[in-house]
Amino acid sequence: MAVEKRHFVCVVCPIGCEIDVVHDGGKIISMEGNKCEKSEEFVSQELIEPMRILTTTVRIQWSKWAVIPVRADKAVPKRLFPRIMKQLRRIRLQAPVNMLDVVVKDVLGTGANIIATRTMPRE
């Protein structure tokens, strides 16, 4: 793979260092603008596969509310967000649901579970 320049804003801490990185197929050749070493791990991961925590809602029946908030219990590849959202749109949960109940196990084979983030009793 060819040598490429990229720009990142590090989100490891609130400072938000603006980082210019030169890499070769994900291998960092040089980095500029970071104030600490923690950025290195962040940038390496960003170059290979940006990972994020997905938070959204799914439909719920027999509850006072129409939707229940959920999240991935660990970071999943950002590029899978549209596909995960599509899968979650088809789900109809039924109250009662407890906080941290698993809604989808191992979503799209990522190893992450989609879990409820609020307790909703049956009405």
Partner 1 sequence: MEVDVAAIGSGPAGLTAAIHAYKSGAGKVLLLEREEQLGGILKQCIHNGFGLEQFKQDYTGPEYAERLTEELGKTNVQCLLNTLVTNISPDRIITALSPEHGALEIKAKSIVLAMGCRERTRSNIGIPGTRPAGIFTAGVAQRFVNIDGYLPGKEVVILGSGDIGLIMARRLTLEGVRVIGVYEIMNYPGGLKRNIVQCLNDFDIQLHLSHTITEIKGRERVEGVTISKVDSDLRPVEGSEQSIECDTLLLSVGLIPENELSKKAGIELSTTTGGPITTETMETSVPGIFTCGNVSTVFDLVDYVAQTGTAAGISAARYASGSLSRIRQSVDIVAGKNVRLLFPERYSFQDDLVLFIRATEPLEKPVTIEVAPPGSRINRPYARPNEMLRVKIPKGKLAQVRDPIRVSIREK
Q: Does 62 bind partner 1 (CB under 8 A)?
A: no
Q: Quick one: which segment of 6-14, 26-34, 105-113 binds partner 1 (CB under 8 A)?
A: 6-14
Candidates 6, 78, 83, 122: give the one binding partner 1 (CB under 8 A).
78
Q: Please list the residues that pair with 13 across neighbouring strands.
A: none
**In this structure, how many other beta carbons lie within 10 angstroms of the beta carbon of residue 112?**
23
- Pick from 61, 65, 94, 122: which binds partner 1 (CB under 8 A)? 65
- H or E segment at 71? strand 67-72
Which structure tokens are listed for 6? 């990229």
DSSP alpha helices (H): ranges in 49-80?
none
Q: Which residues bind partner 1 (CB under 8 A)?
A: 9, 11, 14-16, 35, 50, 52-57, 59, 65-67, 69, 71, 78, 81, 85, 99, 117-119
